Structure 1
Amino acid sequence: MPNSPEGKITANLPSRNFDTTLAFYDGLGFRLAWRSEGWMIVEKVGMKVEFFPHPDLDPEESWFSACLRLPDVEPLHNEWSQQGISTDTTAIPRLTAITEPTDTAPRMFYLVDPDGSLWRVIEDKDI
């Protein structure tokens, strides 16, 4: 689109407890950027994630998700693998192995946070 403005999109995800959410994302290298009773923002190298309170959320019923696109997913996967996050396919939170690309999906891995939000971390060489 000609003359379209550049910008950033940030994910908005639920949190049952901001302290628990902050501790988890802090372990992933995110730092607190802003917090009030009704909103929290964490950031890591220009990436921002915003959280709203949802104390009654059942993590096993959560349908919230976000995508993170990177030119190479391996360095971030290696970093997050050092945090001791479960790799069990039913655990919450959990971290999967990197999947290789197929005809229908790019190379990626998945992270599920303590509130059941699904992250698709997608390799996108065009970034």
Structure 2
Amino acid sequence: MFTSIHPKLPMRDKQITRDFYVNSLGFHVFGNGDFPDYLMVEKEGIQIHFFLFKDLDPKENYGQVYIRTNDIDAAYTHFSECGAPIHPNGHLSDKPWGQREFSILDPDHNLLTFGQEIV
């Protein structure tokens, strides 16, 4: 019955959000990119949607997404080399709950956590 999930996160400025996800993280715009208050980006089958929230205070934003990967070390290396802002407390590490993870903050302080099961 269910086929996928696409998180919706707040953004203050569509162009800044688009530039970050496309140029820093390698996503591409999905769907109708001309709609002024909404943005959809996609990478490797993962979609993230954004809605305009001009009055968002980034320091009070708790938007979060957990993205599973099958090559966490390569993802971390790629994003680090591209200059993506790794969260100060989110560098690549093994977690006691059996995941190897790292986290990135986007321009609106939405937290993207990437993880892979430790086997």
Shorter chain as denominator, the TM-score bin is 0.7 to 0.9
Matched position secondary structure for 1:25: helix
TM norm structure 1? 0.81
Q: Could you say if the C-alpha distance between residues 41 and 86 of structure 1 is closer, same or farther in structure 2, counting changes exceeding 3 Å?
A: closer
Partners in 1 of 2:76 and 2:8 — Cα distance?
A: 22
Any runs of at least 4 consecutive aligned residues in structure 1 with deviations exceeding 6 A, and if so which? none
Report Cα offsets for 1:54-83 as digits up to 9, x if no partner: 111111111111110122311111111112
Instruction: Give distance in 2, aligned partners of 1:29 and 1:40.
Output: 15
Q: What residue number does 2:8 align with?
A: 12
Task: Note if contact 2:85-2:105 (Cα within 8 Å) is conserved in structure 1.
Answer: no
Give the C-alpha shift of residue 86 in structure 1. Answer: 4.0
**Normalised TM-score (structure 2):** 0.86
Alignment partners' CA distance in 2, 1:23 and 1:58: 20
CA distance in 2: counterparts of 1:44 and 1:38, whole angstroms:
21
- Structure 2 alignment gaps of length 5 or more: none
CA distance in 1, matches of 2:75, 2:19: 18
Q: Which residue of 1 aligns with 2:110?
A: 117
**Structure having the higher Rg:** 1
Q: 3-state DSSP class of the match of 1:107?
A: strand
Q: How much is the aligned-residue C-alpha RMSD, in angstroms?
A: 2.1
2:51 aligned partner: 52
Aligned to 1:31: 28
Confirm whether residue 100 of structure 1 aligns to residue 90 of structure 2.
no
**How many aligned residue pairs are there?**
116
8 Å Cα contact 1:72-1:124 kept in structure 2? no
Question: Contact 2:104 / 2:113 at 8 angstroms: preserved in 1?
Answer: yes
